[in-house]
Amino acid sequence: MSMMNLPPHISPEAFLADVFQSKAVRDGKVIRRSLRDIERYIGRPAFVAELKRRGFRAVENAGQMIVFCNQEPVRIVR
C-alpha cells in the first residue's frame, strides 16, 4: 500500500507500517510526509513518539515532515 492509495479510514498501526516499510527507510535515507496526513491518520504526538523509538530525527517545513531515517546528526546548512 502506498500513501497515494491509503483508504480514508486507516488504523494508526497500518499508517505507521506503510510509512516505515519503504526501501528508503530500510536504507537509512530520507522520507517526506505531509503534516495533514500525519495528523489525520495517527496524530503528531504518536508519530513523534515513533520517530523517537526508532532514533530518527525530523524537521518540519511548509506543511511537510522530513524524516531522516538514521541516527546521524542533522545540520541546517542555511
Q: One digit per residue, pLDDT tens: the chain, 78 residues?
A: 455 566 667 899 999 999 999 999 999 999 999 999 999 999 999 999 999 999 999 999 999 999 999 999 999 999
**Closest CA relative to residue 54, chosen from 20, 77, 11:** 20
Amino acid identity at 37: D
Distance CA 33, CA 12 (A): 14
Q: What's the pTM? A: 0.86
**Closest CA relative to residue 37, chosen from 62, 15, 59:** 15
Q: In whole angstroms, how large is the CA radius of gyration of the chain?
A: 12
Assess contact for 38 and 19: CB atoms under 8 A.
no
